[in-house]
Amino acid sequence: MAIVTTYVCDVSGKTGMDRKDFIDVKITADNSNVEGVNYSNRILIIQKLVHIDAARKLGLVVAETKEDVQPQTPTFESQIASLMKQWAEEIAYEAAESAAMSARHG
């Protein structure tokens, strides 16, 4: 005779029968900084069962990557665009500097 266990995610309400699809999350709340409220327990710890899909959406687990991420080499066009942007910024800086000098002298 088998015992059927159904797990329920506290956050999203998802249910499942495989425990591997769920993770335990401990939430710690420090109430000592709340003004005007007198708590008998300053630190509150709650443990929740969260479905792995909900945990990924909430950023509670890191998604597994199957392959190593290779850095992308910049294309010729992106290098040219970067150089042109730098050049335009230098011209704008020199023009602003020239205008400021002219304003000071008169």
Which tens digits make up the pLDDT trace of 26-74?
A: 878 776 666 666 666 677 778 888 888 888 887 877 766 566 656 667 7
Mean pLDDT, residues 82-102 taken together: 88
Round to whole Å and give the CA distance between 42 and 14: 32
1 vs 92, more confident? 92
Round to whole Å and give the CA distance between 23 and 51: 6
Tokens standing for residue 27: 């939430």
pTM, two decimals, is 0.43
Round to whole Å and give the CA distance between 106 and 98: 12
N-to-C CA span, the chain: 97
